[in-house]
Every structure is written in C-alpha cells, then in structure tokens.
C-alpha cells in the first residue's frame, strides 16, 4: 500500500483565499469545504493493490484547520443575526402529513418524508417533483443527507434504516439492527458513520459503506427520539423520553456526560456550530442551552410555553429556530435568549426545521401537509430618481416599445408622455372626465389607449402628436386594456364582468363575453397573440379570485386557474409566453405553466400586491405591494433577490426595455425610478441617473 503526500500549505492557502478565518461554520459549510478540497486534488486516500479505498488520513488535518478557524471566530462580534419575513412562501402543499423535510447541502433538493413510507424529492428552484420513491413499509420518520450530498439516509417505523445514492435514489445499504421503531437517523460530518435511534432505547452506530455495525450505545431507559453529531464527529448527543440527555464518545462508544433538567420527553438536541454548547427542547415547554465546556454548570433555561417538536441552529449559530405542536415557529437569540419573532404559517405540529446554507431561507415541514419557506429580510433599496408630475396623482404607467418614452396617467383624467432619455415632458394627451386607471402602448408604439375609471370609455391616441384617433364605449367602468400584438385589436376588462374586444378599424365590438362572475381587473395578450388572460375578484370582500385563458380569435375559454383566496388584481404573460403570473390582494403570487396549465410556483409577499411585471428576459418578476415596497423575484429560484422601498401604495410598475430600471407609480404626484442594472445590465439606468442629478 502506498500513499501520496499531502500539501498542507496549499490547504492553508485555500482556506485563506476563501476568507475562512474569523468565520463560523455550520456542518454544511464543513461539507462544502471538504468537497472543495477534494475537488482541488488536495485530499488523497490510500489504496491497496486491489483498488479498495482505505481510511483517508488527511481528514483529521482538514478538520483541525477548520476547528482552528472556528475557534478564532467564536467571539467574532460582527456576526449578523438575520431577520425573517413573518409571511412564508408555500414550497409544497399536500393532504398527507409531512413527517420530515431536509435540504440537500448544495440547496438544490428538498426531500420530504410521509406516513405511507414514501419520500419525495423536489427541485428547490422550480419546485417540480423529481422523484417519488416507496422507501419503507411504514412511516418514514427522519431524513438525513450526507455532507457531500451524495447519500440520503431514511429511518422508519418498520425498524429499518436505509441509505440511498443521490440523486438517482438507488438503494445502497439497509440496517435492521433496531428491535423496534426507528425515530431518527443522522450522518457523521465525514459521512463515514451513521447513527440511528428509536423505541428500543438504543443508538446504533454503523458504517454505511461496509454495512458493519460498530455496536449499540445503551443507557437510556426509554425511547430515544433525537440524536446529533458534534462538528468534529467525535461526540454524539442523544435525547430520550426518560428526560435525560447523554453525551457519548463515538470512537470508544462510552458515555461521557449525563445532562438532567427536562421534566418529560426530550424531543430534540442540536450542537451549536461553534461546538461549545448544546441546545435541547422538550415536551415540558423549555429550551435548554448546555455549556459543554463546563459540564457541571446548570443549563440556561428558556420558557417557550408550549411543547416543541423540532429545532435548528442558523449556520452562524446566532439564531435557534424551534417548532411547536400547535404549528408555531419561534426564533431565538442564542446569546441573550430573547425571542426574536414568531412565525405562524402552519395549522399542525411543525415536524422539521432546516436552514439553508446561506441562512437566507428557513424551511419548515408540518403535519398539516405543507412545507413553508421563510425568507430572510433583505435591506430595502431607495429610488435613484423621481419624476414630478404636476398634473395629478399617477395611477398608471406604460413603457414605449423602443424604451425611450414613459406614459403616465391618473387622477383628474390626465395622460402624458415623458422622455426617459432627458426626464422631460414630451406632450400631453387629452383628458377623461374622471380618473384614468390604465394606459397602454400598442406594440408598434404608434398608439396609446387610456381608460377612464368612471366615464366607461376607452380613448385611443396617436403617440406622435397626442391627437385622439378613436373612442370606444365599454358600457361599464374599465379596469384594464391591452393591444393585440399585431395591433389590430384592443381588449378591455370591465367591472360589469365582461371581456370586450374591438377591431381598431371598426367602431363596434367584435365580441362581448361575460368572462367572470366578479369584476375583471386585468387583461393580457400572450406574446404570439393567440390567447388572452383575464383575472377577477372583489377587493372589498374575501372571495376567491380566478384567472382564465381564452382563445384570442374566438374568445372560447381554454383553461381556468384557481387557487387564489382573494381578488386577483393582475395577470401577465412572460415574454416568451411559457408562464403566466397572477397576483392577489393577500400577497400571493402564482406562476402557471401555460402549456400544461399546472401551477409552477407559489410565492408569498408580505403584503397585498395589485401590480406585477416581468423583465424582458423573463428571469425576474417584480411585485408592487400596498406598503409601497417592491419585491423582485428570481422566477426559477423562487426567492426575492431585491427589495425596493417606496413611500406609498404601488399602483403600477414596469421594467424599462433593457430591464435596468424599475418604474413605479405610487398614487402620488411622482414617478419613482430604481436602478436594478446589477440584476439586468443596460444603459437606461445611467440615463436616468444623469438627468436625475441635473434637474
């Protein structure tokens, strides 16, 4: 047997270049670094002449360096405690109880466990189901990914533990060492050892590669419900129905400490990322923090007031999340013990909690059948420019197809065209006798349509000179207008529940369809002009809203999309026509696959949203909220990548043609401009900044 030498200097250099000094690490971070070192060919294992892998002797060196870095970071005062949105995004919703939910180390997959013995794998970005596997003959109680993400362990009431190769979900090994139901399973940080526990009161230690059983840890007098490895993999903590927490030395399988204090079942244990303390939760309603450097010191006790089921440390260790039997989640400051916030989004016990590796997302699984995602609050960005509109309060905006002009309209019936290149007024349109609620350009930029809120009319103007070209009477208050892509037709949605379509070369409607049972709030043509989307609802009453698709030529209904609990205020197509997005008064954003008519994603904003806009490339979706802020969502990832801070309710928002600027009307005598060129590079942002500083 021969071994290649290890260049420890290169490892240290890699650590320094990664700016790891002075940073705290979660187990997932260790796994990430481990994989990085391995990928850089810095970790070499020994092989015998048959090609069988022997123990990798460099691993302790890597962990020593990591522990040194973490020790340096232990008292780092610059560690940030993140705040989280109090309204979740629903990642998954079903009728079956979710017994556990686990995120893969790279954040690409979410695994969920069910009482029927099955496990599902979903893509975190698209939220699409990737795998559904019948893993066990009874309830799957716990899931655990190895730190390299290549394996998934499943524990079950059928008394077995199984190891699966990911993402193929191929069975690698099965352990039947337990004599009763298995409650939990966990990988050691190096992935070489699996520990499991259950109703037989034992902890089984075994090697998932060789399937060799290293022996049982015995000492608890009742079922063991929770186990956790320390960061270095040398210690194991276990919590039991006997109310006792035991610490074990993994290598010699000896108990090193016994921690007493809980008055009832211990439901969960977790090592802090710095390895200096242990957190535990129990059915006595307490959270206990144990100082592992002072074994005789009593635990710091926090009264939660309700029985708890699950817990998780944030990656930097500043926050502890706990989930209770009633569906509530609590976030705690681990240093002060103060409650940071409550997160209410489940109607039954919270069975699992997992932070993403960057701590920007907290995933919660529940027996109510759902998995929720709680996003970290992002710092809000202020506008870079304001355009003062003396004519009145702005309720509607539109961008010209060439990206050079913005049309504004609003209170008092006015309509105006402004230059995005100079920030100056170009011309005024004629007026309506009442507020203009919507304004739109035709696709060739030659025509502009404005709709009066109370005068039941649509006026079509020539963009080049502002002259009136046509007047259409809708017979009801108009809430939305849209030109067909070929410029031959104009569609409108009314408060009289109708979808009306006119031929621009005629004065009479081509068709009138009673599209909904409630007012029609928006109409939108698909990019190819073959479909029209409408949405409806009653914003004054908590009635479910609805989205419908129609054939543009015949106005025959193609599909209806249901799922919004309140009025749907906007429905728009993505630029390539693949998706349709809709938003409702309760802040829910839904994205629908137009080809399959299936729901692609559900995104939760912190407040009601009446206006949404896709960027031209379709990668970003902006939502204007009632609190005056704008959330910009990454469509594929399903997460907010930017928050913009406004001053009032968002009535209308648009991306500029190049996507570098978001334009917002907030119901005041102004239009606000935000620079998002770091998300969508383009020249408009610089133009806006230029005139905003010279006016």
pLDDT tens readout for residues 424-440: 999 999 889 888 989 99
Rounded Cα distance between 410 and 391, Å, is: 9
Last residue of a domain, one of 260, 275, 293: 260
Order the strands of the 98-103 sheet from edge to edge.
98-103, 109-114, 118-123, 129-134
Residue ranges of E strands in 207-337:
213-217, 224-229, 235-240, 244-249, 254-260, 266-271, 277-282, 286-291, 300-303, 308-313, 319-324, 328-333
- 104 vs 50, which has greater pLDDT? 104
pLDDT band at 538 (very low <50, low <70, confident <90, very high): low
Considering the domain architecture, whether residues 326 and 341 belong to the same structural domain is answered as: yes
**Is the same domain home to 145 and 101?**
yes
Residue 23: pLDDT above 60?
A: no
- Report pLDDT digits (tens) over 255-275: 999 999 999 999 999 999 989
Q: Nearest 10 degrees: CA dihedral of 23, 26, 29, 33?
A: 80
Residue 319 lies inside a defined structural domain of this protein = yes
Would 418 be classed as within a structural domain?
yes
**Are the CB atoms for 153 and 169 separated by under 8 Å?**
no
Pair 184, 291 in one domain: no
In a domain, 267, yes or no: yes
Mean pLDDT across the stretch 485-501? 95
Quick check: 569 pLDDT over 70? Answer: yes
pLDDT at 58: 35
pLDDT reading at 39 higher than 50: no
For residue 374, the Cα-to-chain-centroid distance in whole angstroms is 7
Phi, psi at 458, each rounded to 5°: -120, 125
Q: Residues of the chain with pLDDT > 70: what percent?
A: 87
Model pLDDT, residue 523: 97
| Chain segment 169-202, per-residue pLDDT in tens | 999 999 999 999 999 999 999 999 999 999 999 9
| Whether residue 322 has pLDDT greater than 70 | yes
pLDDT the model gives residue 540:
62
At residue 505, the pLDDT reads 85
Task: Confirm if 586 and 569 have CB atoms less than 8 A apart.
Answer: no
| R_g of the chain computed on alpha carbons | 30
Q: What pLDDT score was predicted for residue 645?
A: 79
Tell me, rounded to whole angstroms, the distance of Cα 672 from its chain centroid: 27
| pLDDT (0 to 100) of residue 13 | 31
Mean pLDDT computed over 619-627: 90
pLDDT in tens, 95-138: 899 999 999 998 889 999 999 999 999 988 777 899 999 999 99
Which one, of 343, 326, 346, lies nearest residue 377 by Cα?
A: 343
* Sign, Cα dihedral of 255, 257, 258, 262: negative
Quick check: is 79 in a domain?
no
Given 309, 340, 369, the domain boundary residue is 369
**Tell me, what's the pLDDT at 344?**
93
Q: Quote the pLDDT of residue 38.
A: 34
Q: Residue 406 in contact with residue 423, Cβ under 8 Å? A: no
* Residue whose C-alpha is closest to residue 123's, from 640, 638, 641: 638
| pLDDT confidence band for 531 (50 / 70 / 90) | very high
d(CA 16, CA 442): 56
Residue 527 is part of which domain span?
A: 389-694
If you search the block for the tokens 């590669």, which residue do you land on? 209
Q: What proportion of the chain, given as a percentage, has pLDDT over 90?
A: 64
Token pair belonging to 496: 């009289």
Task: Say if residue 281 is in the same domain as residue 269.
Answer: yes
What is the distance between the alpha carbons of residues 204 and 229, in angstroms, rounded to a whole number? 13
pLDDT of 228 higher than 50: yes
- Both 140 and 231 in one domain: the answer is yes
Q: What is the pLDDT at residue 415?
A: 94
- Segment 20-38 shows an average pLDDT of 34
Pinpoint the alpha helices (H) of 592-635: none
Residue 239 and residue 272 in one domain: no
- The answer to whether 57 and 3 are in contact (CB under 8 A) is yes
Mean pLDDT of 566-581: 94
Q: What is the mean pLDDT of residues 60-77?
A: 37
pLDDT on residue 560: 93
Give the DSSP H/E element, type plus range, for residue 580.
strand 579-584
What CATH number did the domain enclosing 589 receive?
2.130.10.10
Q: Measured between alpha carbons, how far is residue 432 from residues 468, 496, 648 in Å?
A: 12, 20, 25
In a domain, 1, yes or no: no
Other C-beta atoms closer than 10 Å to the C-beta of 228 total: 21
Are 574 and 597 found together in one domain? yes
In a domain, 187, yes or no: yes
- Is residue 312 domain-shared with residue 458, that is, in the same domain? no
pLDDT band at 541 (very low <50, low <70, confident <90, very high): low
* Cβ neighbours of residue 170 closer than 8 Å, sequence gap 6 or more: 164
Instruction: Write down the mean pLDDT value for the chain.
Output: 85
287 and 193 in one domain?
no
The pLDDT-based confidence of 539 (bands split at 50, 70, 90) is low
Residue 28 has pLDDT above 50, yes or no: no
Is position 91 within any domain? Answer: no
Checking if the pLDDT of 82 tops 90, the result is: no
Counts of helices then strands in the chain (DSSP H, E): 4, 57
- The pLDDT of 629-635, averaged and rounded, is 89
Domains in the chain: how many in total?
Answer: 4
Which whole number is the average pLDDT over 159-173? 95
**Residue 72 pLDDT > 70:** no
Shared domain for 63 and 209, answered yes or no, is no
Contact indicator for 630, 664 with CB cutoff of 8 Å: yes
Query: Distance between CA 196 and CA 184 in Å, rounded?
Result: 6
Residue 68 and residue 60 in contact, taking contact as beta carbons nearer than 8 Å: no
168 located within any domain: yes
Q: Is residue 665 scored above 90 in pLDDT? A: yes
Same domain, 212 and 340: no
The token duo for 219 is 């000492």
Tokens 């629903």, residue?
90
Of the candidates 260, 293, 318, which is a domain's last residue? 260
**113-128 as b/e: b if 16+ CB within 10 A:** bbeebbbbbbebbebe
User: Does residue 578 share a domain with residue 446?
Assistant: yes
410 exposed, middle or buried (CB, 10 Å; 0-12, 13-18, 19+)? buried
- Check pLDDT > 90 for residue 159: yes
CB-count exposure of residue 290 (10 Å: 0-12, 13-18, 19+): buried
Residue where the block lists tokens 């010279």 = 694
Residues 6+ apart with CB under 8 A from 552: 484, 489, 525, 526, 529, 530, 531, 532
């Amino acid at each position: 047997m021969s071994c290649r030498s290890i260049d420890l200097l290169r490892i240290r250099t890699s650590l320094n270049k990664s700016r790891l000094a002075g940073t705290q690490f979660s187990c997932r971070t260790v796994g990430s670094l481990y994989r990085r070192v391995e990928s850089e060919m810095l970790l070499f294992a020994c092989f015998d002449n048959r090609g069988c892998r022997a123990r990798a002797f460099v691993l302790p060196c890597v962990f020593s360096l990591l522990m040194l870095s973490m020790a340096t970071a232990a008292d780092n005062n610059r560690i940030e405690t993140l705040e989280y949105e109090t309204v979740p995004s629903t990642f998954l919703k079903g009728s079956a109880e979710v017994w556990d939910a686990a995120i893969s180390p790279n954040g690409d997959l979410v695994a969920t466990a069910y009482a029927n013995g099955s496990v599902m794998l979903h893509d975190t970005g698209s939220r699409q189901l990737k795998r559904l596997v019948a893993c066990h003959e009874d309830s799957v109680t716990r899931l655990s990914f190895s730190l390299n993400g290549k394996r998934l362990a499943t524990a079950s009431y059928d008394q077995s533990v199984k190891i699966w190769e990911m993402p193929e979900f191929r069975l690698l090994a099965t352990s039947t060492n337990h004599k009763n139901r298995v409650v939990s399973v966990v990988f050691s940080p190096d992935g070489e050892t699996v520990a499991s526990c259950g109703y037989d009161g034992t902890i089984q230690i075994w090697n998932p590669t060789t399937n060799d059983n290293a022996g049982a840890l015995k000492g608890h007098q009742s079922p063991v419900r929770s186990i956790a490895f320390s960061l270095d993999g040398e210690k194991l903590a276990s919590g039991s129905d006997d109310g006792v927490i035991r610490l074990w030395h993994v290598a010699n399988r000896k108990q090193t400490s016994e921690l007493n204090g809980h008055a009832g079942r211990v439901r969960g244990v977790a090592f802090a990322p710095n390895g200096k303390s242990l957190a535990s939760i129990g059915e006595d309603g307490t959270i206990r923090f144990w100082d592992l450097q002072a074994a005789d010191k009593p635990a710091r006790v926090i009264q939660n007031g309700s029985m708890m089921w699950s817990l998780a440390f944030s990656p930097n260790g500043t926050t502890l999340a706990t989930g209770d039997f009633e569906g509530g989640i609590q976030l705690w400051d681990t240093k002060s013990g103060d409650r940071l916030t409550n997160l209410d989004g489940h109607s039954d016990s919270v069975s699992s909690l997992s932070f993403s590796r960057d701590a920007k997302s907290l995933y919660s699984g529940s027996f109510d059948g759902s998995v929720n995602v709680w996003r970290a609050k992002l710092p809000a960005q202020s506008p870079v420019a304001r355009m003062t509109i003396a004519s009145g309060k702005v309720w509607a905006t539109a961008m010209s197809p060439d990206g050079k002009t913005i049309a504004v309209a609003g209170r008092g019936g006015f309509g105006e065209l402004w230059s995005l290149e100079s920030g100056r007024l170009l011309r005024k349109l004629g007026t309506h006798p009442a507020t203009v609620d919507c304004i739109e350009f035709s696709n060739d930029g030659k025509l502009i349509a404005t709709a009066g809120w109370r005068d039941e009319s649509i006026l079509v103007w020539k963009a080049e000179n502002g002259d009136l070209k046509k007047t259409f009477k809708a017979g009801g208050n108009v809430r939305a207008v849209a030109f067909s892509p070929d410029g031959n037709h104009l569609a409108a949605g009314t408060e009289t529940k109708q979808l009306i379509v006119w031929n621009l070369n005629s004065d009479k409607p081509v068709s009138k369809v009673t599209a909904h049972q409630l007012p029609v709030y928006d109409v939108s043509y698909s990019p190819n002009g073959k479909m029209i989307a409408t949405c409806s609802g009653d914003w004054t009453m908590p009635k479910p809203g609805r989205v419908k698709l129609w054939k543009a030529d015949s106005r025959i209904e193609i599909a209806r999309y249901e799922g919004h609990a309140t009025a749907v205020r906007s429905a728009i197509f993505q630029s390539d026509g693949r998706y349709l997005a809709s938003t409702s008064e309760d802040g829910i954003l839904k994205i629908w696959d137009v080809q399959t008519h299936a729901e692609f994603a559900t995104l939760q904003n912190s407040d009601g949203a009446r206006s949404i806009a896709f960027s031209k490339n379709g990668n970003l979706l902006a939502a204007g909220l009632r609190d005056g802020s704008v959330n910009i969502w990454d469509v594929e990832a399903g997460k907010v990548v930017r928050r913009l801070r406004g001053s009032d309710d968002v009535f209308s928002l648009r991306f500029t043609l190049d996507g570098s600027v978001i334009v917002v009307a907030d119901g005041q005598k102004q239009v606000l401009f935000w620079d998002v060129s770091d998300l969508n590079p383009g020249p408009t942002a610089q133009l806006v900044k230029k005139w905003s500083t010279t006016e």
